[in-house]
Structure 1
């Protein structure tokens, strides 16, 4: 039985989908005004892992991940660059897609853009006004009235008074209450034409929170299974989503009780990526774009680094932690090295049908315990150890049925996390090289001949020369030499 930590109730709970065998999941995506940083990468990889596991568990999944393509930061950046909103956002959407594919992140089933759902947002806002949950201020902004919604604060676990204490330093403007938030922003004269839409409240654009209520409810319905996002979205963004969506679609009695279903059954939040004990973010200017990191590390190393930590825990980013992840991933890949030599298709297929059930059961138990990827990866390392022991008993590149079973079990389970999807050779030799693969192979052949001729000085020099170019040679039993990037 899969258990998920539900932020709403602050505990792990058995997962029961609304419709048997089907799962609906919505995840807050990026605001597209800059390149992805490692914090964005974590959210994408975490929920890609969740969706992969749900599908591996037999569920039919509808996965929606939105794009915010209208926002104050987007407008500011477009004006600074002297380009249109559409040109700016499309450029960074394309970049986001490129980064996601490199990380092995599968495409969501739907990827709605906020600007395509303006009519739906206006419809929700109109209903909130009708239900006395929103009002139009003198500025023209339409504002949500938090104290008129029963149960506000249930996701954050704080009372209205506690929440207000944290908001007192914020300028209220023409809000009636410090906790109230904007649903529709009245257009400012200096803002360009492509940042405003007509509405019954005047020209303007949506507030950030209403976007996700409109997109999730349009695509998944008024009640769905899982809503995810970063821990920083728990309050106020997700709290406000609940207030908006339940404010429209639920009916409350005079005691604030409702018999209608919750907006979302399970709320999931991934932890921050931290640098020097601070959250990685653009506002703190302590972020590393994924593109910069990928100049030094293979994309799968980044994915492995993210999955080695439990999704709810903070994770510390540094070159040291990435180097550890690179070494760990290399250990898993090298355990599979003899699979590259298997040419008997029938033997390979038969071994895939008889995976080691002991390791499979341990892996499944870890993943069903709130997607415990650290424990699941520990199972992979134990499996790699057993695979290597079997490999060490073999002669040269010979393979046995037991090796094939262990290796295919390792590869199959890792694939469910989006790992070990390449051959060992493709991983170890991938990326940008300072010397061609053909030249490396020629030098390896020259070194082998030098060793036969007992010219060990030349043999050692070839190894050193290749190492200076970032190429590591590894001598294997039977006279085999393989190479990999340093």
Structure 2
């Protein structure tokens, strides 16, 4: 398969993507041949990232990797919302400056993303760096009659001025208006109208505008940042399924009313995360941050767990599901570790495995089917090894690592992965010393001593394995 920078692969012509707007799959044709502009709604940085954020990070990382594997030159943009009601509220609660709060959680977000093995986006625009562009877009919407200033200095978007409002979410404007909760708000012409520019309140950060001191509304931030980074129209816009309405619906209305051009060709939305079959929610106390999960599991376990489900399907998070993902990766890494010193190269059937993985990934990034190909490679490597075909086993293991790398998987040292979480530096030194003693005892055929040491390690949460390469150990299940 052709990699990024080596020209567009013939496989690129077979890529189909599900478009949330049309609600069907279609061949992917970028606006400019060989190039992809993709914008993904990022985090509002007032707290640590949760597993829903992890799913968006990993899903669009895999999508980016595959697009580049096909040879597309991808510009991946993921924004940072660093001014928002929640940010202001949290900073006030903490008694800390907003800049300090957002800097702290941006750093934490970067740490979490790196731990999950995700590539850095090509651009990470921050809302506070794009206020001029936001003001320009709001001004254009006012001038074109799509927005109006209120008496208090707010500026609202007039939803009725955009006849195609609701096309992404498949909602009709009349139905939305009939079902809207009418609030006592004399400032808005219609309950569906949404704020583009918020008048400043005492003590809040504010910027000068033609309508007075204020700050951006949330929806307009993404329209301005995506347009600045990728132009008036681009190929893919993604985010969590919870953003489809109203956030992305509002983005379309703002952007297309301002520019007069189609905003996005393909909309992609990641499915919801459930916890033990219930919707993840702080009110249900089933809300987990990435770093909470990574205290108990290797980051690749969480990445594999996410990749093992199709990005559009609901994802049911549970300890049992993560344990299962860990066990699968244990088997994969055990195969790689057992064959690490064997001859390299790839099997004669490599092209068949590659074609099947490409077929899966070209079908709307079907990672479960792609991972099924990896399972087959593991089985074949182990079958060859059992049959005494050491070279054949190593060839399949080598291909396994390469194809898994396309998904950002199996790139760690096998022993390091299997031993992760076994203890601190002192504990690891003690384990290594005991393993060395076991090796010495077995060489002396003192199996009673070897068994006693193995039981001692078992009590420390360490499993010992006797292989043809010698004594190996891993963190016990």
TM-score, normalised via structure 1 length = 0.91
Change (3 A) 1:472 1:432: closer
Secondary structure at 1:415's aligned position in 2?
helix
Shift of 1:169: 5.5
Shift of 1:139: 2.2
Q: Which residue does 1:199 correspond to in 2? A: 209
Instruction: Structure 1: give runs of 5+ residues left out of the alignment.
Output: 251-259
Secondary structure at 1:58's aligned position in 2?
coil
Q: Which residue does 2:423 correspond to in 1? A: 433
Q: Which residue does 1:378 correspond to in 2? A: 372
Shift of 1:453: 5.3
Q: Is the 8 A contact 1:39 1:281 kept in 2?
A: no
Cα deviation per residue 1:378-414 (whole Å; 9 max; x = unaligned)?
Answer: 111111110111122338xxx41x2232112111110
Indicate which of 455, 468, 473 corresponds to 1:483.
Answer: 473
Change (3 A) 1:354 1:139: farther
Distance 1:319 1:169 in 2: 43
Would you say 1:8 and 2:21 are equivalent positions?
yes
Indicate which of 151, 158, 164 corresponds to 2:164.
Answer: 151
Q: Is the 8 A contact 1:355 1:409 kept in 2?
A: no
Shift of 1:286: 2.6
Q: Is the 8 A contact 2:141 2:254 kept in 1?
A: yes
Q: Which residue does 1:368 correspond to in 2? A: 362
Distance 1:142 1:272 in 2: 32
Q: Which residue does 1:288 correspond to in 2? A: 288
Q: Which residue does 2:223 correspond to in 1? A: 213
Distance 2:48 2:416 in 1: 28
Cα deviation per residue 1:201-230 (whole Å; 9 max; x = unaligned)?
Answer: 011100000000000000100010000000
Would you say 1:55 and 2:49 are equivalent positions?
no
Distance 1:360 1:263 in 2: 35
Q: Return 105-114 or 440-449, whichever deviates more.
A: 440-449
Would you say 1:237 and 2:228 are equivalent positions?
no
Q: Is the 8 A contact 1:213 1:245 kept in 2?
A: yes
Q: Which residue does 1:408 correspond to in 2? A: 398
Secondary structure at 1:287's aligned position in 2?
coil
Distance 1:171 1:414 in 2: 56
Q: Which residue does 1:77 correspond to in 2? A: 90
Shift of 1:8: 0.7
Shift of 1:446: 2.3
Distance 2:184 2:448 in 1: 75
Secondary structure at 1:473's aligned position in 2?
strand
Indicate which of 417, 424, 446 corresponds to 2:437.
Answer: 446
Change (3 A) 1:169 1:274: farther
Q: Is the 8 A contact 2:50 2:289 kept in 1?
A: yes
Q: Which residue does 1:257 correspond to in 2? A: none
Distance 1:352 1:116 in 2: 49
Q: Is the 8 A contact 1:340 1:425 kept in 2?
A: no
Shift of 1:282: 4.3
Distance 1:14 1:113 in 2: 32
Change (3 A) 1:92 1:16: same
Q: Which residue does 1:392 correspond to in 2? A: 386
Cα deviation per residue 1:306-335 (whole Å; 9 max; x = unaligned)?
Answer: 000100011111110100010011111112
Number of residues paired by the alignment?
A: 462
Indicate which of 43, 46, 50 corresponds to 1:33.
Answer: 46
Distance 1:50 1:87 in 2: 33
Distance 2:346 2:124 in 1: 35
Q: Return 264-273 or 445-454, whichever deviates more.
A: 445-454
Q: Return 329-338 or 28-37, whichever deviates more.
A: 329-338
Shift of 1:451: 4.2
Change (3 A) 1:359 1:464: same
Distance 2:186 2:103 in 1: 34
Shift of 1:164: 2.7
Would you say 1:174 and 2:184 are equivalent positions?
no
Indicate which of 440, 456, 459 corresponds to 1:465.
Answer: 456
Would you say 1:267 and 2:267 are equivalent positions?
yes
Q: Which residue does 1:67 correspond to in 2? A: 80
Distance 1:144 1:98 in 2: 37
Q: Which residue does 2:313 correspond to in 1? A: 313
Cα deviation per residue 1:417-456 (whole Å; 9 max; x = unaligned)?
Answer: 0000112122112345255444323322322444455554
Q: Return 15-24 or 469-478, whichever deviates more.
A: 469-478
Distance 1:132 1:266 in 2: 28
Q: Is the 8 A contact 2:197 2:217 kept in 1?
A: yes
Shift of 1:281: 4.0
Change (3 A) 1:170 1:373: farther
Distance 2:153 2:366 in 1: 48
